[in-house]
Amino acid sequence: MPPIVWRLTHVATIDSTNAWVAERAREGAPEGTAALADYQAAGRGRRDRRWEAPPHSALLLSVLLRPSDPPTAAAWAVAAVGLSARAALTRLCGLQPSLKWPNDLMVGDRKLGGVLAEYVTTPQPAIVVGIGLNLTACPDGVGATTVLAEAGVTLAPRALTDIVLEELEARAPLVDDPAGLARLRAEYAAGLATLGRAVRVVLEDGEFEGRAIDLDESGRLVVDVGGATRIVSAGDVVHLRSAEGGS
């Protein structure tokens, strides 16, 4: 499989890097098209939650991937981008955040960043994956943290982008290869702080508690609930302390 050729557009201000890359995808842009912004005026996370950071204080990056089966590859694309960001941070400043299913990067119980994948319907279907990482600033009172607070260094978004894309170039092709996907799944599971934890899963129509025990072949979370298993494809997961989770 040929290597990904990254075509990065760096802008000062944009509404949303994901929206910009999605529009390029609809125009037929190739895999590897990417956007980096110093500031997003309409950034968002899962369930359309607003996500905003001061200019130059965060990594705000979106990439276009074109796997062979985009709808089923979305979860693994999120994993590949999250793992690539984690590896890039470790290389640059020694910080190794954990991952929280389905899309967060964490330091302890504090959120460092998040990943969002969007399926784009085009003649050649695509996935746009965006990542936001708090580098020097984060909102107060929401349990967040920054690379500066955790590692004591200020990373330039542009320099971090180069390393993230380098790491992603090795991981993105794995989602189209069964053996590669097994490696990606193993790396993701090893970095996933959610596994083995008592969790509360919040769904659109309710919530339940149990223990996260595995990932299935589609990247869905397997939760043990009183000896029975529930498979979660989408939802908010809260990590519980053992006593809180009753185990």
Distances, alpha carbon 188 to alpha carbons 81, 97, 222, in Å: 11, 12, 14
Task: Evaluate if residue 89 carries a pLDDT over 70.
Answer: yes
Residue 33, beta-bridge partner list: 7
Distance, in Å, from the CA atom of 146 to the CA atom of 111, rounded to the nearest integer, reads 8
The kind and range of the H/E element at 107 are strand 104-107
Q: What is the mean pLDDT of residues 105-119?
A: 95
Percent of the chain topping pLDDT 90: 79
pLDDT at 5 over 60: yes
Cross-strand bridge partners of residue 203: 206
Residue 164 near residue 213, CB atoms below 8 Å: no
pLDDT given at position 48: 53
**Extents of the domains making up the chain:** 7-191, 198-240
Is this model's pTM higher than 0.85 or not? yes
Residue 247 is predicted with a pLDDT of 41
Q: Out of 1.10.1740.10, 3.30.930.10, 3.40.50.720, 3.65.10.10, which CATH number does the structure's domain 7-191 have?
A: 3.30.930.10
pLDDT in tens, 191-217: 999 999 999 999 988 999 999 999 999
| pLDDT of 26 above 80 | yes
> What fold, for 198-240?
SH3 type barrels. (2.30.30)
